[in-house]
């Protein structure tokens, strides 16, 4: 699918839930969020239908995200259903890693190919502060389990707060090297004010070469993280919603005031 600016749209990112078992300071308020109505959340069959339609239109890469994808009940089954769609060459998932040691093996067996784990620091207290209570030991166990299960590559996503925090960066770099992990730094962004940046060592944030569309848990296809535009797959049907999103994909992202990282997926 070519958009108006000749970008070939091949990548669908699916936020499978707005729920999360952490409350990262840059993502969610301490008191949590107003959750989407249960009946608005797409069923697995609906998500798979969107995927199949997207693949028939040229998508070949799918990532599951959230909220925290591993808190969605039956996530392994969803991975299996998506992995069985002919034409998906790359199926991955982004997680905070807290529940990963429990699921890594099953996810791999269900057809997940690779995984990104979010980890901003190696200091247990700082991790607990950033995530408002998260236990870093579980994330490390999750990383080890992912590698043991054969998910490859395992990538680390680290949000950088202060460009000058070299010590944190260096310790993450050393850890990544020791553990054979690919590390990407993401500068903290704000959807509302439109502060966004290119992901160091990754492909996000580069509008000129953006090949993405996104599906929200409640069924909107969004052409851009930094835009209020969204097309509802229940109202329009998956094909129409996808085509409209691609047709209206903005040249560059500006701002988004009707969504958040936790319900669009980052």
Which residue among 66, 142, 204, 217 contacts ligand SAM (CB under 6 A)? 66
Q: Tell me, what DSSP letter sits at residue 223?
A: S
- Smallest gap from Cβ 82 to ligand SAM, in A, equals 17
Q: Closest CB to ligand SAM among 65 and 121?
A: 65
64 is an interface residue for ligand SAM by CB under 6 A: no
Which residues inside 105-164 make contact with ligand SF4, applying CB under 6 A? Answer: 118
* Footprint of ligand SAM on 102-141 (CB under 6 A): 118
Q: How many residues bind ligand SAM (CB under 6 A)?
A: 19
Closest CB to ligand SF4 among 223 and 266?
266
Q: Which of residues 43-72 bind ligand SF4 (CB under 6 A)?
A: 66-68
- State phi, psi for 102 to the nearest 5 degrees: -75, -35
With binding defined as CB under 6 A, does residue 265 bind ligand SAM? yes
Please tell me the distance from the alpha carbon of residue 62 to that of residue 57, in angstroms, as a whole number.
13
Q: Minimum CB separation from ligand SF4 for residue 74, in Å?
A: 19
140 binds, among ligand SF4, ligand SAM, none (CB under 5 to 8 A by kind): none
Q: How many CB atoms lie within 10 A of CB 62?
A: 26
**Smallest distance from ligand SAM to CB 35, Å:** 15
> Should residue 221 be labelled a site residue for ligand SAM when binding is judged by CB under 6 A?
no
262: three-class secondary structure by DSSP: helix
Query: To the nearest whole angstrom, how small is the minimum distance from the Cβ of residue 157 to ligand SF4?
Result: 9
Tokens of 240: 């129409």
Q: Are 91 and 82 in contact (CB under 8 A)?
A: yes
Q: Does 151 bind ligand SAM (CB under 6 A)?
A: no
Q: Does 261 bind ligand SAM (CB under 6 A)?
A: yes
Contacting residues for 104 by C-beta, under 8 A, at least 6 apart: 115, 142, 145, 146, 148, 149, 151
Could you give the residue ranges of the DSSP H alpha helices within the chain? 44-56, 75-83, 100-110, 124-131, 136-149, 166-179, 233-236, 238-247, 261-264
- SS3 assignment, position 221: strand
Helix (H) or strand (E) holding 164: none
Residues that bind ligand SAM (CB under 6 A): 20, 26-27, 65-66, 68, 94-96, 118, 157, 159, 186, 188-189, 261-262, 265-266
């Amino acid at each position: 699918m070519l958009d108006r600016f000749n970008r070939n749209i091949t990548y669908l990112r699916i936020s499978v839930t707005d729920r999360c078992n952490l409350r990262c300071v840059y993502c969610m308020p301490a008191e949590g969020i107003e959750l989407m109505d249960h009946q608005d959340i797409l069923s697995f069959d609906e998500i798979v239908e969107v995927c199949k339609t997207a693949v028939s239109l040229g998508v070949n890469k799918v990532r599951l995200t959230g909220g925290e994808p591993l808190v969605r009940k039956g996530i392994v089954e969803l991975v299996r259903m998506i992995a069985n769609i002919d034409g998906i060459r790359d199926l991955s998932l982004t997680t905070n890693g807290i529940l990963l040691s429990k699921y890594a093996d099953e996810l791999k067996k269900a057809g997940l190919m690779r995984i990104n784990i979010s980890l901003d620091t190696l200091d247990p207290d700082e991790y607990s502060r950033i995530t408002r209570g998260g236990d870093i030991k579980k994330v490390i166990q999750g990383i080890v389990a992912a590698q043991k299960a054969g998910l490859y590559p395992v990538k680390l996503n680290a949000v950088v707060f202060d460009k000058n925090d070299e010590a944190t960066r260096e310790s993450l770099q050393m850890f990544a090297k020791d553990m054979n992990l690919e590390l990407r730094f993401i500068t903290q962004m704000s959807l509302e004010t439109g502060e966004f940046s290119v992901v160091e060592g990754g492909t996000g944030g580069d509008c000129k070469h953006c090949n993405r569309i996104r599906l929200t848990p409640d069924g909107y296809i969004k052409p851009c993280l930094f835009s209020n535009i969204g097309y509802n797959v229940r109202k329009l049907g998956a094909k129409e919603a996808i085509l409209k999103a691609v047709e209206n994909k903005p040249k560059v992202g500006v701002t988004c005031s009707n969504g958040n990282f936790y319900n669009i997926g980052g």
